[in-house]
Structure 1
Amino acid sequence: MDDIANSVSDSCFPQIIPNITFQTVNNKCIVIVEVYPGFSRPYYLKSEGKVQGTYVRVGGTTRPADAMKIKELELEGMNLSWDEQICIGYPVEAETVKKLCDDITKYMLEAAVSEEEKRMVKPVTEQQLLNWKILKKTESQLAATNAFVLMTGEHFPFAKIQCALFKGTDRDIFIDKKEYGGPLYKQIESAYQFVLRHIDLSAEIEGIVRKDAYELPIGAIREMIVNAVCHRNYLDNACVQVAIYDDRLEVTSPGMLYGGLTLEEAMSGRSKIRNRGVAEVLSRMEIIEEWGTGIRRIVKRAAEYSLPEPEFLEIGDSFRVNLYRYTSEKPIKADKKPIKLERERMILQYIEEHESITNKEARELLGLAESTTKRILKDLVKQGVLCEQGERKLRKYYLA
């Protein structure tokens, strides 16, 4: 036992002191070596050095850590969050700061249930962004953190969500695909709407009230996307991916579970925040509710819909959630009529708020191709719901 303790201590840096005990099992002495997660990461083999001698567990295998993973371990060891670090050279403009403050305030107001709660919401200020470490002051000047950049622009090329609808149950034939960039909270909403456009929507009549219901719990859909965006590793050169198949909704997030967290611990509700600044803003916006409850909420919503139990997987250096649809002998096909009605409703609501809509505005609203958007608008004109004015690119549609 002493030899094992000395070998571990002499071979690794920073020093690791294992807990070594023994038990007698079937008249045999079994030596038990336990190594608990440490805070001075990364730990590596002295003989190989930090770059070559740092290893990570991926599933049931041990692999050399790449430069990106070592960087994340170093930040973790210093109790630093990458998104709270200053983004060198990124300008902080007053208009951008105001826009972010206004958007956070808007989300807070929308989340307030009663008029009394709305009155209690105070406009978010620049000082609050400083308190939340979204902005920092250096030599009396404002500096942008990576969290501020993620919430206001498209500076990081892989900080995006890729969405796709596939035919069948594997990644072979695309039916539709979109890529969303920009502020994270807008990405989340766009990806969420993409999923809703491509899953079944049914209607039930209760008395004189019509109730629309999607085939998958919308709370679980949003939770899957929000968790992927909030907890992903932004040092990883990969995008969050949202994929819809005939049998499931699949959301994949770059980065393994953070801080030595195991899948079993995550399932039990334990959480470690990888991106503290991003989580802070999304929490203030009420986009995430309580840290650590996301996985259990997904499981609960699926159970309420009598769906198969969701699947949570660590695949390589990424994390994946599968929410399964109702199974049947034939592949599930979306009911086109409810989807069409939902798209028309979105257009009419936009016109009520903005008086008119162009093909480009409708295309961005629905996330569809120009030809498809034009066909929907023309159908509404034929139905007598809309009227059109202007030629080609200048054409606008109004309520008839």
Structure 2
Amino acid sequence: MDLDRLLTLIRDGESERVEFKRAPSRTIHREIAALTNAEGGHIIIGVDDSSNIVGTDVKAALEMVTSALSSIVPPPQITTRKLSVNDRDLLIIEVQKGTSLCSVGGVVYIRVGTSIRPLSIQEILMLSSELGIIAWDGAPATDLADADPHCIDWFFEAITRSRGKVIADEDRNRYLRSAGAVRDGMLTNAGILFFTDAGMQIPHAKIRMIRMANDEPVWSREFEGPVARVIEAVYSALLAEIQKVEVVVGARRVRVEEYPPRAIREAIINAVAHRNYTVSADIRVFLHPDRIEIRNPGGLMPGVDIEDPEHVPRNPALSNLLYDAGFIERYGYGIRLIRREVEEHPFCSVAFSTGPNRFGVTFRKMVGSLVDEVDRRILDAVREPRRSGEIALVVGLSRPTVLRRLKTLEGLGLIRKEGAGAHVRYAAIR
């Protein structure tokens, strides 16, 4: 941290991620643990609650902080630095967000606003799941007899259809154990979600669809039951809501769906697979006039970057079952698939949002930008078959840009691709 950044933090005052102290207090260990259990942040010693710089004895303060760290389990990741403002020394403690929950004397604290408080058992469970410390879905939860035989039959038929594997009846229990649906002779939470009417035991394991108008709800529907059935029901309901837009291009009328169906389906599957089931909230699908939003409790797992996502499942057993049943194509591929489908769609954009204990996908339709003047120039250029490089020269654009637009026009049924490899040519469909 440099001096300018320090002065900005002091000027902005205390917040959820910034704490001021004249000197280290006897509760400094709780302050550090609470920050690492939240989002991390800074403790600035030598500043009072009114943002006045009073200075501190940095050596003595550092000794107290070092001593306090020994009582935090596991040890948090912090860095310290001395900076001076107007000849007054300050000690800055930068606390990293933890990858596990830190406790002091067996109590787990968290920072909320500018104060700290201990967590309840339920909150510890929720945060542990959010951090990937525990796998909630793999815990045994109910008697195996609660499983619906029809759901089990459907699952093994789905394995055969999607994976080409035939599991003998006598091997079913072993397979369910290896997949994480059964443990110690009981159905796990993942097994409940897949093979029972999950709403009976996990009432928040449902999806709520809400139609919005002027940001006000018009109607809502709830979908609950075994997750495979819920996914299909929500997807079918969404398809019924997605309209086909008719666009006039020259003398032709083209009908195209407002949103890419495969991307919508993948977003639903991702929400079911990766949500945090220890949070008593449901998945919500909002249907706005200009967009579809899919929100689920549970942020990205620690270390996962939305721009380059890796497969780090919060619910590994549930993910295994969804993969075996054919809902998941490849592990770690969901966000990439959504982006690819949107890129190939004529008029849709996608945005991802993430934060503490939340994740969202927003599909926004852009009907007005379906076919612009550049596209019309390309259509004129391919009245006779041409290679992409030739088209780029005619319209004055780069070849990659032309290829992207050609893919869109092909999806609209306005052009066709002839040949293969280096001999590919594009021609207008008359």
TM beyond 0.5 = yes
1:161-180 paired onto structure 2 within 5 Å: 161-168=207-214, 170=215, 172-174=216-218, 176-180=219-223
1:231-246 paired onto structure 2 within 5 Å: 231-246=274-289
Distance apart, 1:99 and its partner CA: 2.8
Q: Residue 93 of structure 1 corresponds to which residue in structure 2?
A: 145
Q: Which amino acid aligns with 1:99?
A: H
Q: Which amino acid aligns with 1:54?
A: I
Q: Is the 8 A contact 1:45 1:54 kept in 2?
A: no
Q: How has the CA–CA distance of structure 1 residues 105 and 203 changed in structure 2, closer, same or farther, with 3 Å as cutoff?
A: farther
Q: Which amino acid aligns with 1:100?
A: C
Distance apart, 1:233 and its partner CA: 1.1
Q: Residue 156 of structure 1 corresponds to which residue in structure 2?
A: 202
Q: Is the 8 A contact 2:129 2:276 kept in 1?
A: no
Q: Is the 8 A contact 1:20 1:31 kept in 2?
A: yes
Q: How has the CA–CA distance of structure 1 residues 75 and 161 changed in structure 2, closer, same or farther, with 3 Å as cutoff?
A: closer
Q: Distance in 1 between matches of 2:353 and 2:303?
A: 13
Answering whether residue 192 of structure 2 is matched by residue 111 of structure 1, we say: no
Answering whether residue 58 of structure 2 is matched by residue 15 of structure 1, we say: no
Distance apart, 1:266 and its partner CA: 2.9
Distance apart, 1:7 and its partner CA: 5.8
Q: Distance in 2 between matches of 1:99 and 1:297?
A: 31
Q: Which amino acid aligns with 1:93?
A: A
Answering whether residue 107 of structure 2 is matched by residue 50 of structure 1, we say: yes
Q: Is the 8 A contact 2:72 2:102 kept in 1?
A: yes
Q: Is the 8 A contact 1:257 1:319 kept in 2?
A: yes
Greater radius of gyration (CA)? 2
Q: Residue 186 of structure 2 corresponds to which residue in structure 1?
A: 143
User: How well do the aligned residues superpose, as a CA RMSD in angstroms?
Assistant: 3.8
Distance apart, 1:242 and its partner CA: 0.9
1:273-288 paired onto structure 2 within 5 Å: 273-288=313-328
Q: Deviations over 1:240-291 (max 9, x none)?
A: 0111111111001012223x245xx133112421111111100111101222
Q: Is the 8 A contact 2:350 2:362 kept in 1?
A: yes
Q: Distance in 1 between matches of 2:121 and 2:191?
A: 24
Distance apart, 1:76 and its partner CA: 7.3
TM-score computed with the length of structure 2 as normaliser: 0.59
1:125-144 paired onto structure 2 within 5 Å: 125-137=172-184, 142-144=185-187
Among the aligned pairs, what percent are the same residue? Answer: 24
Q: Residue 188 of structure 1 corresponds to which residue in structure 2?
A: 231
Q: How has the CA–CA distance of structure 1 residues 295 and 62 changed in structure 2, closer, same or farther, with 3 Å as cutoff?
A: farther
SS in 1 for 2:144: coil
Q: Which amino acid aligns with 1:83?
A: D
Q: Distance in 2 between matches of 1:92 and 1:103?
A: 17
Unaligned 5+ runs, structure 1:
24-28, 113-117, 205-210, 330-400
Q: Which amino acid aligns with 1:15?
A: P
Q: Residue 296 of structure 2 corresponds to which residue in structure 1?
A: 253
Q: How has the CA–CA distance of structure 1 residues 217 and 121 changed in structure 2, closer, same or farther, with 3 Å as cutoff?
A: farther
1:294-305 paired onto structure 2 within 5 Å: 294-305=334-345
Q: Which amino acid aligns with 1:91?
A: D
Q: Which amino acid aligns with 1:277?
A: A
TM-score computed with the length of structure 1 as normaliser: 0.63
Q: Distance in 1 between matches of 2:128 and 2:295?
A: 25
Q: Residue 136 of structure 2 corresponds to which residue in structure 1?
A: 82
Q: Which amino acid aligns with 2:159?
A: M
Q: Is the 8 A contact 1:85 1:145 kept in 2?
A: yes
Q: Deviations over 1:27-58 (max 9, x none)?
A: xx9989574744xx311455xx624x23489x
Q: Which amino acid aligns with 2:102?
A: Y
SS in 2 for 1:290: coil
Distance apart, 1:156 and its partner CA: 1.1
Q: Is the 8 A contact 2:139 2:183 kept in 1?
A: no
Answering whether residue 363 of structure 2 is matched by residue 311 of structure 1, we say: no
Unaligned 5+ runs, structure 2:
1-57, 84-89, 248-253, 370-430
Q: Is the 8 A contact 1:8 1:17 kept in 2?
A: no
Q: Residue 258 of structure 2 corresponds to which residue in structure 1?
A: 215
Q: Which amino acid aligns with 1:161?
A: I
Q: Distance in 1 between matches of 2:217 and 2:146?
A: 45
Q: Distance in 1 between matches of 2:226 and 2:336?
A: 27
